[in-house]
Chain A
Amino acid sequence: MAILETQELTYTYSVGTPFEKTAVDHVSLSIEEGEMIGVIGHTGSGKSTLIQHFNGLLTPSSGKVILDGRDIWADKKKIRDVRFKVGLVFQYPEYQIFEETVYRDIAFGPKNMGLSDTEIKRRVLETANDIGLPEELLERSPFELSGGQKRRVAIAGVMAMEPRVLILDEPAAGLDPAGRELIFSHIRAYHRRTGNTTLIVSHSMEDVASFADRILVMNQGKVFCFDETEKVFARAEEITKIGLDVPQITKVFLELKRRGFDFGKEVYTVDSAKELILRRLSERKGL
Chain B
Amino acid sequence: MSDIIKIEGLHFHYTSPDGSSTDEVLKGIDLTVKQGEFVAVLGHNGSGKSTLAKHINAILLPTEGKVTVDGIDTADESRIFELRQTAGMVFQNPDNQIVSSVVEEDVAFALENLGVPYEEMRERVDDALKTVGMYDLRLHSPSQLSGGQKQRVAIAGVLAMCPKCLILDESTAMLDPQGRKEVLATVRHMNREQGMTVILITHYMDEAAGCDRVVVMDGGSIIMDGTPEKVFSQVERLKEAGLDVPQVTELAYELRKAGYDISPEIINGEECADALAELLSS
Contact = CB atoms under 8 A, between A and B. Distances in A.
Interface string A155-192: 00000000000000000011111110000000000000
A74 interface: no
Interface residues of B, number: 38
Contacts of B277: 256, 259, 261
A175 B242 CA distance: 12
B114 interface: no
Nearest to B242: A178
Nearest to A148: B45
Given A177-B242, A270-B250, A281-B279, A252 B269 contact: yes
A203 interface: yes
Interface stretch (A81-89, A133-141, A230-238, A242-250): A242-250
Interface stretch (A57-65, A216-224, A271-279): A271-279
Interface string B80-95: 0000000000001000
B258 A203 contact: no
B273 A252 contact: yes
A248 B246 contact: yes
Interface of A is mostly: helix
A149 B209 CA distance: 29
A104 interface: no
B269 A251 contact: yes
Contact of B170 (A174, A178, A256): A174
Interface residues of A, number: 35
A249 to B, nearest CB: 4
A173 B205 CA distance: 15
18 contacts: A44-B146, A146-B46, A174-B173, A176-B242, A176-B243, A177-B243, A248-B246, A248-B247, A249-B248, A259-B277, A270-B247, A270-B250, A273-B247, A274-B254, A274-B255, A277-B251, A277-B280, A281-B280
Interface of A: 42-44, 146-148, 173-179, 203, 206, 243-245, 247-249, 251-252, 255-256, 259, 261, 270, 273-274, 277-278, 280-281, 284
Interface of B: 43-46, 92, 146-148, 170, 173-174, 176-179, 203, 205-206, 242-244, 246-248, 250-251, 254-255, 258, 260, 269-270, 272-273, 276-277, 279-280
